Chains A and B, each alone.
Chain A
Amino acid sequence: MDYKGLTQRIFKPAPYVLAVVLWCILTLKEQFFLYKVENLSVFLFDKLFIADSLKIPGGFLGLAGSFLTQFLHLPWLGALIWVLLLLTAYQLTIRVFRIPESYHPLALIPIVLLIIGNMSLGYGVFIMREQDHFFAPLLGYMVSLLPITSTRRLNTLWSRIIFLTIWTAAGYILFGTFAFTGTLAAVLSILIQPSMKRKERPTLFSCGIVLIILVPLAIYSAYTSYRLADSWVMGLPSVSDDAWTRPMRAPFQIALLCQILFALTSRFLSEKPLEGIKSYVFRSAMYIIAIVAVWGFWFKDDNFHTELAMSEAVDRFDWDRTIEIFRQAEKSHAKSDAKAYASRSKKIESAHSIDQINEIVEHYKDRFFEPTRSMVLYRDLALLKTNRALGEAFTMKDGSRMQESRTIIPMVWQSGKQFYLQYGLVNMCYRWCLEDVIEHNWSYSTLKYMAMHSVIMQEPELADKYINKLEKTLFYRKWARQQDELKSDREKMSATEPYSSILPYMCFENQMSNDMMKTEAYLINHFLDKEPDLATPEYDRAALLFAMHIQDIPRFWERLFYYVNSNDINELPRSVQEAALLYSTLKKDGRELPLDEKVVKSYDEFNRYVQNHPIRSMKESEYPYCQKFGKTFFYFYFFMRDLKTY
């Protein structure tokens, strides 16, 4: 068999094919993740911003990373830049370490690690401190390859030492820790050269090590922005929560370690290239491992992706789209839910005891679709904004699936600002923007929300502060100019989205409060605490919705009264009728309610079904009941209990 021809035909284009596939996946499947990465970063064409970025070693790398991150605003473009850089890094690795063709796939290892570093991030994206994390490690990896070839080209020991000294010092200032990898890899790649004099080897090696130890120590006195002990990790990504930092740094650190390994093994690799079937098998295996590793570590959680899509739609005030995304998520899980139910039923049939059944039910729990609280709140917000909430909110799935995350990211970091602003709690939105800036750094998102807070509060001087910054961006300039026109024109502001739909919620009196980082609980307390003297129909609709959500019967009647008084309605929305019927029946209070016949019929049907299908455990019966009554408040009341919030 002609393995040479075969490997040529298959493996030569393989990296390019994989790059195209990667770009397609990023653009089609991860567009909202990429958009969120951009949204949570910032690059300003601004002297102060640049000076501030350079106040730590590696600041330049961060700046370059932030510069490129802004292009993720257009996910296809940002993804294209990233993929092209990955491809360049792959080619550079091969050339710098002179990796023979049969070993080319080895150069995929660091590339795979760099991909994993970003795409395994998931909820960690909300607590990143470095705004450049998507591009900076990749740029750092490429930069650290630079001194290797240059050092190799120099002939004398002293010229090499002088070059490495300059590189390490300047490189550390500009690129942080990445410069050290370059220094070490350069030293090692020369040491293994047969042309290197034996006597000079210890000198060069010691020199490299001394430079790595001494340069940060020497440079430290010029900086006042970090601990001496952190000198050797400057420029590597970190997050505010330490539980995340170490594992998320690992792929980047291993990618850098690969450079050291390539430097040490490059001579061996070039002397003993693989041939024939060995080469074919090795290369095939490497590609398979690479694909499996990327796929395995890729953060694929559906709820996370739905949240990101809904968040983006909320930021565009596209309420119909927000609802549609939720419905699509429900729909897309219908088949897998049915499958899971069938499989579970089969297992339950063969179970011998209640304990076993409970075990099976528990085992299958996560296989059924259940939205997170952020998804439910996004959906309800959109429904309220389109005045459909009381009719439709309870026709959709509810739940409180926990985040697929190493630690739970509180809603205040994820979506809290959006809810607070949209429900008129503008100072609470501003407060969490301020905290977010401190905990996780400035971002386009916080600047936008701070500007919106100041515009709606008609604080023009404060609004200027944030608008001016956004005017120094590439993609938010136009938006900033629009806000500039609204900041001191109350009339115009009141007629413009999102302010026009926020102002009706700002009918309450000022109060002192603290949300204790529990966004949903705070919203519930806010809306159900006391009726504002000047309550608007929008406010009363939201209050009734929250009262129905917490399943508090006295609160429901109280809020229903205010709702009916302030809203011009001919007929109560169906879910409200269902709640009223259910509550009056449960409390046997003999209320006379203007109910639709269909509602009464549906309730009778529900009761009959309960009698004929006794419930052994709520979790077990959830699916069949949902299939039949999932669009009713009765189902919500009995099956959606003890929902957790965060």
Chain B
Amino acid sequence: MKHLITIAAILGIMVSCAKVPASTGTVDAEPSIFPDYTDVVIPSNIAPLNFRIEEKAEKYITVFTGGSQKIIVKGDKVVIPPKKWEKLKKSGLIVIQVYAMDQSGSWRSFIPFTYSVSDEIDPYISYRIIPVAVESYQELSIRERNLTSFKEDIIFSNTMVQTNENGTCINCHYYKNYTTDNMLFHVRQYKGGTVLVLDGKLHKVNMKTDSTLSAGVYPAWHPTHDYIALSNNRTHQSVHSVSHDKLEVLDDISDLILYDIKNNAVSIIENDSCELENYPAWTPDGKKLYYVSYKYEGGYGEKRKNEMFLARKDFHFNLYSKSFDPDTRTWGPTKMEFDAAALDSSITWPRISPNGKRLLACISTHGVFPLDQIVSDFIMFNLEDGSYRHVDELNSPFAESYHCWSSNGKWVMFSTRREDGVHTRLYFSHIDGNGHFSKPFALPQRDPDYSREFLYAYNIPEFMKEPVHITPRQFASFISSSDATPSEYESKRGE
């Protein structure tokens, strides 16, 4: 007890010593910090936005002011105490003033920057953590992160199932309407199958049938009915011999399927042999399915893949939609929504906002896999008037890729390689009523150096309203002990 009192006294003295310099020179710029959190809009329930000051100096003092609350933090690593952070956020606007002392002992102050506190964000996100690689994988995990704190937990890791001889890949986790009692992810190879959590119960199915190309890949869970739209893909990769882009990924064949959960049955949505259909996305009412497709009329067989890599720059995916009656499971005709090819561009990953008014997608010069293209950016469509624009507020000189709308439609989370060109990181941005995005900010970390130090990549970020209730051990034991139930094939209805 005595020791605790002594430590508390020392800490008290240290805090009281951290005073704002009395006289300072001024620098006519905001300080350089990492991550760049200057002048960002933040959710009211987000964890502290800690950062590192990247200005050369001997000493640093950072002052956070929000209403009557003030926090003073010493040092270039600015770590905000969580309790004080909560009080600060209540003011709605946090002003951050950075002071730096040079070798001569004189202080200078930078132009203050702000955190504007705005709407709440879903408290949880999940993502896959993967090593950056081409073909190999060893350790893959799907993790959940509490955005209101720094707590990160593993939902499931392939290391809990795979053996030295038999690798297990996991990918494409997805949730029905942001809740975790209905979710899925794919397990490939050893103990493979699609793991479905249906009303909290575990199932494993094999969606590959004699009449479909592959097991399900990119999923879109129907918002009102028990269906999941998925792509079927046969994917290939090739390395750029000398380029800032390292890898090219393409499918030589891809289709769309609909999985009927109740009947464990698969039916075709689109499987035109000349079309490469991909990335399904439902509208919030579940009456329309958006997807992308490219018409490729090249040869088949062994040469197809190589020919496609040579012709890759001509691959311009367009945006299409199909109407759908979920009660009768019937499809309407296909409609082209956006002719990206006419602009020598390629559109991928359409995701529709929860209010159904906007569609955010990736746009690139060519191809189907934006993550590996430096030029990949965001494009947003106003589904009410059909207009679109490049989202310059979100775009960076590096690849922008997988994105997700928060359940209230006020936030967008996206993966980007803006920090170093290779390691994908997660960024958030607020969207206002006019469809304007705020400056993106990086996923907050307890240690601001974490993102730079971490040598893995974030992948497939998804918002969740709640944590996953099934433990990693339950997933592991289920996946290890159960065989995937084969799905039935059903013929397509409608058109």
Contact = CB atoms under 8 A, between A and B. Distances in A.
B131 A224 contact: no
B452 A468 contact: yes
A434 B134 contact: yes
A465 B420 contact: yes
Interface in A431-477: 431, 434-435, 437-439, 442, 457, 459, 461-462, 464-465, 468-469
B9 to A, nearest CB: 28
A437 B137 CA distance: 10
Q: Of B135, B137, B164, B419, which is in contact with the most chain A CB atoms at under 10 Å from its CB?
A: B164
Contacts of A425: 241-242
B248 to A, nearest CB: 6
A226 interface: yes
Interface string A408-442: 00000000000000001111101100110111001
Interface string B316-342: 000000000000000000000000000
A438 B420 contact: no
A468 B453 contact: yes
A514 interface: yes
Given A427-B242, A434-B133, A512-B239, A226 B248 contact: no
Interface residues of A, number: 43
Interface in A476-527: 506, 508, 510-514, 526
B132 A428 contact: no
B246 A465 contact: no
B417 to A, nearest CB: 10
B241 A48 contact: no
Given A46-B453, A225-B139, A227-B161, 5 more contacts: A427-B240, A428-B241, A434-B131, A461-B421, A514-B237
B163 interface: yes
Contacts of A431: 134, 239, 246-247
Interface of B: 131-139, 141, 154, 156-157, 159-165, 237-244, 246-248, 309-310, 312, 419-423, 447, 450, 452-455, 471-473, 476, 480
Return the 6 tightest CB-CB contacts between A and B, nearest first. Answer: A461-B420, A438-B136, A512-B238, A224-B154, A510-B243, A462-B420
Contact of B141 (A224, A227, A435, A469): A224
B454 A48 contact: yes
Contacts of A439: 136, 138
B241 A511 contact: yes
A77 B455 CA distance: 31
B164 A242 contact: yes
Q: Of A242, A435, A468, which is in contact with the most chain B CB atoms at under 10 Å from its CB?
A: A435
A227 B239 contact: no
B387 to A, nearest CB: 35
A227 B154 CA distance: 15
21 contacts: A48-B454, A224-B141, A224-B156, A224-B472, A225-B157, A227-B161, A245-B164, A428-B241, A431-B246, A435-B133, A435-B134, A435-B136, A437-B455, A438-B139, A439-B138, A462-B422, A469-B453, A508-B242, A513-B241, A514-B237, A526-B241
Contacts of B247: 431
Contacts of B154: 224
A510 B240 contact: yes
Contact of A438 (B131, B160, B452): B131
Contacts of B248: 512
B133 A437 contact: yes
Contacts of A511: 240-241
B420 A427 contact: no
Contacts of A437: 131, 133, 455
Given A224-B160, A435-B133, A430 B138 contact: no
Nearest to B471: A221
Nearest to B477: A228
A352 to B, nearest CB: 49
B421 A459 contact: yes
B452 A427 contact: no
B138 to A, nearest CB: 5
Given A238-B164, A438-B133, A510 B242 contact: yes
Given A224-B141, A510-B241, A514-B239, A465 B423 contact: yes
Contacts of A426: 242
Contacts of A435: 133-136
Contacts, number: 118
Q: Of A426, A427, A428, which is in contact with the most chain B CB atoms at under 10 Å from its CB?
A: A427
B121 to A, nearest CB: 26
Contacts of A224: 141, 154, 156-157, 159-160, 472
A409 to B, nearest CB: 15
B422 A48 contact: no
Contacts of A469: 453, 455
A46 B317 CA distance: 44
A464 B133 contact: no
A551 B298 CA distance: 36
Contacts of B133: 434-435, 437-438
A350 B476 CA distance: 67
A536 interface: no
Interface string A227-268: 110000000001010100100000000000000000000000
Q: Of B239, B241, B243, which is in contact with the most chain A CB atoms at under 10 Å from its CB?
A: B241
Given A221-B473, A434-B132, A437-B131, A226 B241 contact: no
A349 B64 CA distance: 95
Contacts of B309: 512
A620 to B, nearest CB: 42
A446 B238 CA distance: 21
B37 to A, nearest CB: 18
B159 A427 contact: no
Contacts of A430: 246
A557 interface: no
A93 B356 CA distance: 73
Contacts of A221: 471, 473
B243 A427 contact: yes
Contacts of B161: 227
B163 A227 contact: yes
Contacts of B447: 47
A639 interface: no
Contacts of A428: 239, 241
Interface string A575-615: 00000000000000000000000000000000000000000
A508 B164 CA distance: 39
A217 to B, nearest CB: 11
Contacts of B310: 512
Contacts of B131: 434, 437-438
A464 B164 CA distance: 33
A512 B240 contact: yes
A220 interface: yes
A427 B473 contact: no
B165 A242 contact: yes
Nearest to B447: A47
A461 B451 CA distance: 12
Given A48-B454, A225-B139, A459-B421, A514 B238 contact: yes
Contacts of A506: 242
B419 to A, nearest CB: 6
Nearest to B155: A224
Given A224-B472, A240-B164, A438 B242 contact: no
Given A227-B160, A427-B241, A427-B243, A461 B135 contact: no
A511 B313 CA distance: 12
A465 B455 contact: yes
A535 to B, nearest CB: 14
A439 B139 CA distance: 10
A505 to B, nearest CB: 10
Given A48-B450, A431-B134, A438-B133, A424 B420 contact: no
A438 B159 contact: no
Contacts of B450: 48
B137 A438 contact: yes
A430 B309 CA distance: 20
Nearest to B248: A512
A242 B165 CA distance: 6
